[in-house]
Chains A and B, each alone.
Chain A
Amino acid sequence: MTHLKAEPIAAAADRLRRRTTLRGAIQRIGTHNFSLLIALSVLIAIFGSLRPDVFFLLRNILNIGQAIAILGILATAQTIVIISGGLDISVGAVVGVSTVGIALAVGWTGSPILSILFGVVVGAAAGIINGLVITVGRINAVIATLGTMAVFRGVAFIISNGQSISIFDPAFRFIGDGKILGVPVTISVLVVVVAIFFVLMQYTITGRNIYAIGGNPVVARLAGLNVRAYQIGIYMLSGATAGLAGMLLAARTGSGQPISGSEGLELEAITAAVLGGCALTGGKGTIIGGLLGVLIIGVLDNGLILTSVPTFYQMVAKGVLLIAAVIIAEQQARRYG
């Protein structure tokens, strides 16, 4: 059968094409990520030309990085949840609970490390609750986490008595404002978390299986995967990541806050993940895409402030530009797809 013999040649040609041409390069990055890069470049070009004096300063670039650190780790965790076919709307509330938990724990223990650990454990526990409600209760993830979001918010208010709890520990000031080798700590945390998620989703069996479960949970189960355990684990990861984000928020604000600073983070995280190419039906998306989505939002925010667009107009501009970015990304994807 000549057809059979031709296969390795076709495969080799395919590989060669991937390596050498622009189209091949785009395929390697992923068409969606490529269009996100274009969108990001366009934004940078616009704001860079409007404010060339400030925009490209290292200080401003680090500013952008610090501003997106919290959203960045939430959005990449959300990307994993969405790839697995779920959605976690409670992350903002979990961030709130964990900042309060951390602030209280600082008071009890005096140890920043124990307090941070406590915040992450609180987040993970909240995530396990989400996972159990979804898998054991067999409830749609949107409804389940919408419900637990209200619960977690309530708990944050209860344990904080509705008050902001100040943190005076210098370790937190270091996390919030300090630098390691010139790089702000918050950005380092973001880079480490994203790197771990990237490796997890790209190079491990666990990551593959998450894609499989999101692609089709019945197929995954019939191939021997413990779908429930994966789902619980994924929500736990999302919760623990929200706990870590809580640490960053508590450090930035120097306090535990039941609502301020964490409200609305879930929608921004979902927006970034979807902008980054996640299909809400599951099975599709990349960590790099999620990160690019966050970067686009960060550059947009920063640029609008630098160009002195009034706050109210910023919101409108942001919404319009986000939609435009997605439209461009989709068209690029179609052209090269």
Chain B
Amino acid sequence: MSQIGATGRRGDAPPGESGALDQTNKPSVREAAAPALAAVGVSKHFGVVRALDDVTLAVRSGEILALVGENGAGKSTLVRIFEGVYRPDQGALTAGGAPQAFRSPSDAHALGIRVIHQEPDIVPDLSIAENLFLGDFRRIHGVFLDRADLARRTRQMLAEFGLEKDLGPWIRAGDLGPAQRQLMEIMRALRGGLRVLALDEPTSSLTEEEAQRLFRVVRRLRDDGVGIVYISHRMREVRDLADRVAVLRDGRLVAERRTAEFPESEIVQAMVGRPIADLYERGARRRGEAVLSVRGLTTKRVRDVSFDVHSGEVVGLAGLVGAGRSELAEAIFGHDRMLAGSVAVRGRTIRLRSPADAIAAGIGFAPEDRKSQALLLMRSVKDNISLAVPDLISRFDFVDPGAERRIATEFADRLRIRTPSLDAAVSNLSGGNQQKVVLGRWLARRPKVLILDEPTRGIDVGAKAEIYRLIAELAGEGIALLVISSEMPELLGMADRILVMAGGRLVAELDREAANEERILSLAMAENLTRTETVRTP
């Protein structure tokens, strides 16, 4: 058949088990002395924000370099410069010793530099095979797609990753789980010969088992001579996997050592830049009566959750991504429909039909995604602060501009919102100041309960400290706070009590003294595994 002829002619393309990986060996051996990829004195600004400041960092072939740092430290910016998405303002890149000026990701890809992002970039309605070989389809008679060849090449790839039993080439990519998508991205990266692979928090939505499989793949790639840049927040992964650890803080490279010589406590201290205790100042707090009482709350994603939050108390909500924490918050706030259970504020059960009911009962909610759920980006700081207090700024529905400005000014001052003016569009503000605008909106309502979902996500360290201080201050004023966070040190530092969720259930409640990172993680993860197992056998 002509199909065979077509593929036979191209039989020299990398077909074998490790053919794709072997390719990468040659350059790394030839240029053993020069790093596979290096940033030399790289700086990058976004407006007034300095994302990277004179960073010099090299990735060698055949090593795993962990890149750690808090959110906003510049890790993702650096990776995007590696990939040619951003161009450095100052400094340069070298690949294999030769200076490079990438104009676009395709320039970086041509040199075998690939980045696997948190949200893998796939075409959901195409098959695995089509996604893997998009742009490299072989044809019969120069016209027809050679499906047999495509299937064979895909099966080879899948076999290489030990996935041949689970997946076939024609499965729709959109039906894959996050772990499988990630592996698919890596396979696609291998296609063109891989020299440097950067992974941006690859395990954030993986189960333990899936993560272990990913680690095996990563180690094998390293052994085949690929330089790996591994970004993660999870200390244990970093210690298990990395040969070297580089720490970024506020856009600067503050430490770089071999993992064996870099104890965890020192890594964390380098990340934070100060002893952790100072970051989470806790004023005097007096725990009062129960303000928020949740009983048997059940939704599609949350099962039978009961707990209280007392006035003057910060309760942390821990769990892995997908454990149902945000869903719980949304249900308490009336945004998601409750199937069973009740929510009460100061003993009075709320009839929750929409967020308006929760707000009327004295609850405020800063959702996880500020830009899509909390802020009107085109509108001003003033409009965004006053959005939830129409009654305070109007008479007979007519806006009282004076009253509105007074309220906006009061909370902008109190929260130290840094903005050119109250009339500036909120999209111009930094992440930290945007979050303060959201907090200002709720504080203007003088809430009894505040629910904060990932309040410090994407915020630089300085602004984080301000948010922590603010949370402590609000607790001191007697507000009951429920804070969701995926950053363990943050939760441990802020919270008086920590609730752990897994698989939609509340699996544990830990006192501040009893809580530590390992314990929370094992509670969150153990349950997560059983959940995925049950999900997989329908």
Is residue B220 contacting chain A, with contact meaning CB distance below 8 A? no
Chain A residues with CB under 8 Å of B388's CB are: 223-224
When C-beta atoms are compared, the residue in chain B nearest to A218 turns out to be: B373
**Total interface residues in chain B, CB < 8 Å:** 34
When C-beta atoms are compared, the residue in chain B nearest to A215 turns out to be: B376
Q: Which of B12-20, B420-428, B484-492 contacts A (4 or more CB under 8 A)?
A: B420-428
Is residue A100 contacting chain B, with contact meaning CB distance below 8 A? no
Picked from A205, A215, A216, the residue with its CB within 8 Å of the CB of B399 is A205
Whether A221 and B394, one on each chain, are in contact in the complex, defined by CB atoms closer than 8 angstroms, is no
A308 to B378, CA, bound (A): 45
Chain A residues with CB under 8 Å of B102's CB are: none
A222 and B419 contact, Cβ closer than 8 Å, known pairs A204-B397, A204-B398, A208-B399: no
Q: Which of B80-88, B256-264, B353-361, B530-538 contacts A (4 or more CB under 8 A)?
A: B353-361
Secondary structure at chain A's binding surface: helix, strand, loop or mixed?
Answer: helix
Whether A10 and B420, one on each chain, are in contact in the complex, defined by CB atoms closer than 8 angstroms, is yes
Is residue A293 contacting chain B, with contact meaning CB distance below 8 A? no
**5 A-B pairs with the lowest CB-CB distances in the bound complex, closest first:** A224-B359, A11-B421, A224-B356, A205-B390, A215-B376
Chain B residues with CB under 8 Å of A226's CB are: 354, 356
Within 8 A of B (CB), among A200-252: 203-206, 208-209, 211-212, 215-216, 218-219, 221-226
A7 to B382, CA, bound (A): 14
Whether B378 and A283, one on each chain, are in contact in the complex, defined by CB atoms closer than 8 angstroms, is yes
A7 and B378 contact, Cβ closer than 8 Å, known pairs A208-B383, A221-B354, A224-B356: no
Is residue A173 contacting chain B, with contact meaning CB distance below 8 A? no
A226 to B334, CA, bound (A): 12
A208 to B377, CA, bound (A): 14
| Residues on A facing B (Cβ under 8 Å) | 1, 3-4, 7, 10-11, 14, 203-206, 208-209, 211-212, 215-216, 218-219, 221-226, 283-284
Chain A residues with CB under 8 Å of B397's CB are: 204-206
A143 to B129, CA, bound (A): 36
Chain A residues with CB under 8 Å of B419's CB are: 7
Q: A14-B420, A216-B377 are in contact. List 16 more A-B contacts (CB 8 A).
A: A4-B418, A11-B420, A203-B398, A205-B398, A208-B390, A215-B378, A216-B372, A218-B373, A219-B373, A219-B375, A222-B335, A222-B355, A222-B367, A223-B441, A226-B356, A283-B376
Is residue B387 contacting chain A, with contact meaning CB distance below 8 A? yes
A204 to B398, CA, bound (A): 4
Q: Report B391-430 CB contacts with A as 1/0, cut-off 8 Å.
A: 0011001110000000000000000101111110000000
A-B contact pairs, 8 of them (CB 8 A): A14-B420, A204-B397, A205-B393, A212-B379, A215-B377, A219-B387, A223-B355, A224-B359
Within 8 A of A (CB), among B343-389: 354-356, 359-360, 365, 367, 372-379, 383, 387-388
Within 8 A of A (CB), among B245-293: none
Chain A residues with CB under 8 Å of B421's CB are: 7, 10-11, 14
A212 to B356, CA, bound (A): 15
A321 to B: closest C-beta gap in Å: 30
